[in-house]
Amino acid sequence: MKATETKLKGCFILEPSIFKDSRGCFFESFNHKTFTKLINKEVNFVQDNQSFSTKGVLRGLHFQKGKHAQAKLVTVLQGEVLDVAVDFRKDSPTYLQHVSVRLSSENKKQLFIPRGFAHGFIALTDQVTFFYKCDNYYHKESEEGIIYNDETLAINWMLPKETFILSEKDLQLKKVIELQ
């Protein structure tokens, strides 16, 4: 496995070593010892989540506040997404900067998003199965988010805005200025 740190400190793109033969392929999707060595940090994942989406579904940008903050290791089992991580750590030199990574069942890349980041994705294919590990349990009262189209972030979601499908809850998320 190979890890590449993004421009956002502590946020890594992980690419597995894939072994192919006439039967298909094999790769190790997670190994705690290898993962810890690659990102140089101990992370104890305690919860796995999975979602199914159709093309244009935009989920996010979500995060949990305070002691309930979550680090995430995200991947796509079916289809392709544009995955976005926003540095929301006020003491970070890359505060409010973001990275966008195409994750797919084809490229098998993963993105590690540390605590203190907002996260979201948009489904780029007709069917997407999205899977992620969290290092802290979901806590409804600590849930927060940033509206997907906040001008401060200027995220290019790669699809025409009129094709986006968002939940009512995500349409009510706040702008960065309201969260500062």
Select from 178, 77, 46, 173 the least CA-distant residue to 119.
173
Q: What is the mean pLDDT of the chain?
A: 97
Mean pLDDT value across residues 155-177: 97
Could you tell me the fold of the domain covering 43-179?
Answer: Jelly Rolls (2.60.120)
Residues 6+ apart with CB under 8 A from 90: 180
Identify the band that residue 78 occupies on the pLDDT scale cut at 50, 70 and 90: very high
Residue of 98, 119, 132, 148 marked catalytic: 132
**Rounded Cα gap, residues 114 and 42, in angstroms:** 11
Q: Is 95 exposed, middle or buried (0-12, 13-18, 19+ CB in 10 A)?
A: middle
pLDDT bin (cut points 50, 70, 90) of residue 136 is very high
Q: Cα–Cα–Cα angle for 135, 177, 147, nearest 5°?
A: 60
Categorize the per-residue pLDDT at 99 as very low, low, confident or very high, splitting at 50, 70 and 90. Answer: very high
Query: Of 62, 98, 119, 148, which one is the catalytic site residue?
Result: 62
Known catalytic membership, residue 68: no
Residue 100 has pLDDT above 90, yes or no: yes
Active site residue 148: no
Domain ranges for the chain: 43-179
143 confidence band (pLDDT: 50, 70, 90): very high
Looking up tokens 């690659």 gives: 38
Nearest to 106 by CA among 16, 6, 31: 16
pLDDT value for 69: 98
More confident residue, 180 or 34: 34
pLDDT of amino acid 180: 78
User: Could you give the percent of the chain with pLDDT greater than 90?
Assistant: 97
